[in-house]
Chain A
């Protein structure tokens, strides 16, 4: 089987020395140092096929960025096997990076002082992109991202949203078969996010571009990725379909009640004792949330029982969000039949 990304038992350790306290400690540090080894990525294995869009998620410090940096050839792994686009990223770095595009949300690929299109032209030269391909391909990218009016402005005069769109365009100049996006939508407003997602979908459909995406914003992943890989403390704790994650974890629904008067937990519990309902208090004693199984009969019956006994100011039925699912997983730390 041919994989675009093929990683086996990839590991990255960082050694750092911890300094002792006080002047005496500082003096001792001069001669012997306490080294601590921190494992940022702990023997992970993963395979990604051509054309997949994969969400790579995890809390801060879970090892997402370190993995991406090893896959893009920036960092040398401590041990393990990495094959990306059929190459060893850190060994054949210069050859390899021609076949990938990278967007780091917090770091600009563009030149600060020069106009956006000049930056594009330099990158075109760097990647040695032929003129006719550049013209047709970039015209398309520029149109989808609506950055035409920004092209003659220097990057430092752009807003964050404008800059990010230009960054993405810059990463696509050489039309890489594999795209790494690290927090591409951080701090962006909804409209810009939508434009970026639209373009990603389009290039995925048009060129079969494989996309690996890390983000804090799960709506990006819901909109784009069928598969998610979840990382915790350097280990993969879930690798599979987003749909399955939702099915396993998000089977229930929540009913949010705002009562006209205060209610107590025992009172509500006794009202709905014939079903499995978990009551949680909201912001005050008249706001309560009932978590129930996703079954129309049960939902109707619970609502009926409660509404029959108490006056209602407001009522809402919500599905458990992916964000809550993920939070639950991190809190419990295990995967049910993952």
Chain B
């Protein structure tokens, strides 16, 4: 498929440029690791005071965080669209995007990818294996495949929400703080939803379904069969949300006003 070969062309070019600025890349990977460490320490501190949180143990919480890191890393690597309005609408870069024969969203993914974020996948896997061993979890032969599907679903949930938010830029190019706010809300998905009250739980499941990035799919691997229904629903939610966001995006493109008008 030609989109795939274009992707590899861009990725190759990206690596070439990044390798000439090696120091930058190392700093970025290091700061990512630091950020992940801080979050992990937060969980450990909380469990210094209690051994169970709404029926979840420390190791289970750590496992969920580890899982969350994987779809989040994939999202971070390919959907750097938090500054879309500024970069593409206000500065008019969208003009250039729209004169090229590739889907506009795909072009932005290609241009803005940050492959070093994928390091988070390794950290996440490491954390999962560590806490999984503490919990004595065993792997089935099909678990890696389930893992891939659930991770893809989680990444699509994230991508869908942020693509939809970026699409707002086609209608209004005024500055808002909605992107950073949404990053914060996204963080709630990496803790078990039953520690929150019902409204928040409902929002995190059906409106801003960040729970499908962390806790629901992790429940499958933790053997928490009361959540299995949600766990297997992850790819469906991912596809629905991402699909809707692309529809919104495509509609937004027809409303694009260009820069300087």
Binding site for B on A (CB under 8 A): 14, 40, 65-66, 69, 72-76, 90, 93-95, 97-98, 100, 102, 104, 107-109, 111, 113-114, 118, 121-122, 125-128
Taking the closest CB of chain B, its distance from the CB of A104, in whole angstroms, is 7
Contact of A74 among B10, B17, B95 (CB under 8 A): B95
Apart from A107-B93, A107-B95, 19 more pairs, CB < 8 Å: A40-B261, A65-B258, A69-B258, A72-B98, A72-B99, A74-B95, A74-B258, A90-B254, A94-B101, A97-B100, A98-B101, A104-B95, A111-B13, A114-B13, A118-B16, A122-B13, A125-B5, A126-B100, A128-B2
A211 to B24, CA, bound (A): 43
Known: A69-B95, A94-B102. A122 touches B2 (CB 8 A): no
**Is A107 a contact of B101 with CB atoms below 8 Å?**
no
**Is B98 a contact of A73 with CB atoms below 8 Å?**
yes
Taking the closest CB of chain B, its distance from the CB of A41, in whole angstroms, is 11
Q: Does B49 contact A (CB under 8 A)?
A: no
Contact of A126 among B6, B255, B256 (CB under 8 A): B6
| Chain B positions within 8 Å of A113 at CB level | 17
| Chain A positions within 8 Å of B9 at CB level | 121-122, 125
Taking the closest CB of chain B, its distance from the CB of A63, in whole angstroms, is 10
Taking the closest CB of chain A, its distance from the CB of B104, in whole angstroms, is 8
A121 to B6, CA, bound (A): 11
**Is A100 a contact of B99 with CB atoms below 8 Å?**
yes
Number of inter-chain CB pairs below 8 Å: 67
| Chain A positions within 8 Å of B103 at CB level | 94
Known: A66-B261, A125-B5. A118 touches B13 (CB 8 A): yes
Chain B 172-205 per-residue mask, 1 if CB under 8 angstroms from chain A, else 0: 0000000000000000000000000000000000
24 residue pairs of the A-B complex, CB under 8 angstroms, read: A14-B261, A66-B258, A66-B261, A69-B258, A72-B98, A72-B99, A74-B99, A75-B258, A76-B254, A76-B256, A94-B102, A97-B98, A97-B99, A98-B101, A104-B95, A107-B92, A107-B93, A109-B96, A109-B99, A113-B17, A114-B13, A118-B13, A125-B5, A127-B101
| Chain B positions within 8 Å of A75 at CB level | 256-258
The chain B residue sitting closest to A76, CB to CB, is B254
Chain B 238-256 per-residue mask, 1 if CB under 8 angstroms from chain A, else 0: 0000000000000000111
Contact of A93 among B94, B98, B257 (CB under 8 A): B98
B: number of interface residues (CB 8 Å): 26
A65 to B92, CA, bound (A): 13
**Is B10 a contact of A122 with CB atoms below 8 Å?**
yes
Known: A14-B261, A125-B9. A102 touches B101 (CB 8 A): no
Known: A114-B16, A122-B9, A125-B9. A104 touches B98 (CB 8 A): no
Taking the closest CB of chain B, its distance from the CB of A211, in whole angstroms, is 16
**Is A76 a contact of B255 with CB atoms below 8 Å?**
yes
| Chain A positions within 8 Å of B261 at CB level | 14, 40, 66
**Is A74 a contact of B98 with CB atoms below 8 Å?**
yes
| Chain B positions within 8 Å of A66 at CB level | 258, 261
Consensus secondary structure, chain B interface: helix
| Chain A positions within 8 Å of B16 at CB level | 114, 118
A118 to B16, CA, bound (A): 10
Taking the closest CB of chain A, its distance from the CB of B1, in whole angstroms, is 12
**Is B101 a contact of A126 with CB atoms below 8 Å?**
yes
| Chain A positions within 8 Å of B13 at CB level | 111, 114, 118, 122
| Chain B positions within 8 Å of A93 at CB level | 98
| Chain A positions within 8 Å of B255 at CB level | 76
Chain B 1-39 per-residue mask, 1 if CB under 8 angstroms from chain A, else 0: 010011001100100110000000000000000000000
| Chain A positions within 8 Å of B6 at CB level | 125-126
Contact of B257 among A14, A90, A114 (CB under 8 A): A14
The chain A residue sitting closest to B2, CB to CB, is A128
**Is B101 a contact of A95 with CB atoms below 8 Å?**
yes
Taking the closest CB of chain A, its distance from the CB of B59, in whole angstroms, is 44
| Chain B positions within 8 Å of A69 at CB level | 95, 258
A118 to B98, CA, bound (A): 21
Taking the closest CB of chain A, its distance from the CB of B70, in whole angstroms, is 29
Contact of B99 among A102, A111, A128 (CB under 8 A): A102
| Chain B positions within 8 Å of A72 at CB level | 98-99
Taking the closest CB of chain A, its distance from the CB of B193, in whole angstroms, is 36
| Chain A positions within 8 Å of B100 at CB level | 97, 126
A74 to B259, CA, bound (A): 11
| Chain A positions within 8 Å of B256 at CB level | 74-76
Contact of A107 among B10, B96, B102 (CB under 8 A): B96
Chain B 41-60 per-residue mask, 1 if CB under 8 angstroms from chain A, else 0: 00000000000000000000
Contact of B102 among A40, A109, A126 (CB under 8 A): A126
Taking the closest CB of chain A, its distance from the CB of B251, in whole angstroms, is 11
A32 to B5, CA, bound (A): 50
**Is B96 a contact of A104 with CB atoms below 8 Å?**
yes
A192 to B142, CA, bound (A): 64
A324 to B2, CA, bound (A): 52
The chain A residue sitting closest to B255, CB to CB, is A76
| Chain A positions within 8 Å of B95 at CB level | 69, 74, 104, 107
| Chain B positions within 8 Å of A98 at CB level | 101
| Chain B positions within 8 Å of A122 at CB level | 9-10, 13
Taking the closest CB of chain B, its distance from the CB of A220, in whole angstroms, is 21
